[in-house]
């Protein structure tokens, strides 16, 4: 499962973390406790995958899961063995995303999008719109309310977008935009959405749960 996957022209990369209590959603642990914070990570990853599978019903995309923590066996036991899994690898978020984009384009993808699992409003419709924007724009960004971004899509690897970024801060989106402008990349940005990282963000997820059940 760690070899080159069957990659479609449109390829999605999902970054997530194995939901081990105490090692995931750490900023929510004071409000939720370690078990519930890990369970939130589990639920949000499963929800993201459900949206990706909805997208696959209407669009010929391929996808993979890049994971941190756990192991290949634990990921397969959790989410099934029909998914392509790859470890995120070492380095900061920028170097890990650079590697994932590099691999996808190397495998033959022509439009590649990377998302996390922290933004439950990223649904099949959001992803379909992002891939559509990539038909004509070199870069697609989905700004997050906290100053980061929840989605990045490219037609080719642009490693400069992932260098000298203050990951985990409110500067990420602005810094990325500045680099894109210096490189004269054609850019489409999606609607601003909220990540679930802090206790005050939890009502967003509760709303999603209400729609699911």
Q: Which two tokens stand for residue 129?
A: 């719109």
Domain-embedded: residue 36: yes
For residue 33, the model assigns a pLDDT of 93
Domain-embedded: residue 5: no
pLDDT by residue (tens digit) across 124-166?
999 999 999 999 999 999 999 999 999 999 999 999 999 999 9
Domain-embedded: residue 1: no
Domain-embedded: residue 212: no
For residue 1, the model assigns a pLDDT of 34
CATH number at residue 195: 3.90.550.10
Domain-embedded: residue 119: yes
For residue 165, the model assigns a pLDDT of 98
Which residues lie below 8 Å from residue 51, measured CB to CB, with a gap of 6+? 122, 123, 124, 127
Domain-embedded: residue 29: yes
Which residues lie below 8 Å from residue 200, measured CB to CB, with a gap of 6+? none
Instruction: Flag residues of the chain having pLDDT under 50.
Output: 1-3
Judged on CB neighbours under 10 Å (0-12, 13-18, 19+), 29 is middle
For residue 197, the model assigns a pLDDT of 87
Q: Which domain holds residue 198?
A: 10-207
Query: pTM for the whole thing?
Result: 0.94
Helix axes 202-212, 34-56, angle to 10 degrees: 50
Domain-embedded: residue 99: yes
Considering its fold, how many domains does the chain have in total? Answer: 1
Is residue 162 a contact partner of residue 115, using CB atoms and an 8 Å limit? no
**Residue 193 β-bridge partners:** 144
Domain-embedded: residue 151: yes
């Amino acid at each position: 499962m760690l070899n080159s996957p069957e990659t479609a022209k449109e390829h999605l990369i999902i970054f997530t973390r194995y939901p081990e209590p105490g090692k995931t959603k750490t900023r929510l642990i004071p409000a939720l406790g370690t078990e519930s914070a890990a369970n939130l990570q589990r639920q949000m990853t499963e929800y993201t995958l459900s949206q990706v599978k909805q997208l696959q019903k209407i669009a010929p995309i391929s996808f993979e899961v890049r994971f941190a923590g756990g192991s290949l066996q634990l990921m397969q036991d959790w989410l099934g063995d029909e998914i392509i899994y790859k470890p995120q690898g070492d380095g900061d978020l920028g170097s890990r995303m650079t590697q994932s984009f590099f691999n996808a384009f190397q495998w033959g993808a022509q439009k590649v999008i990377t998302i996390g699992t922290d933004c439950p409003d990223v649904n099949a419709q959001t992803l379909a719109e992002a891939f559509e924007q990539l038909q004509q724009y070199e870069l697609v960004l989905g700004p997050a309310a906290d100053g980061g971004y929840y989605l990045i899509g490219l037609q080719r690897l642009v490693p400069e977008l992932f260098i000298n970024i203050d990951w985990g801060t409110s500067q990420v989106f602005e810094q990325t935009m500045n680099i894109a402008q210096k490189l004269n990349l054609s850019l489409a940005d999606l609607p601003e959405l909220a990540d679930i990282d802090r206790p005050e963000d939890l009502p967003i997820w509760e709303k999603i749960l209400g729609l699911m059940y």
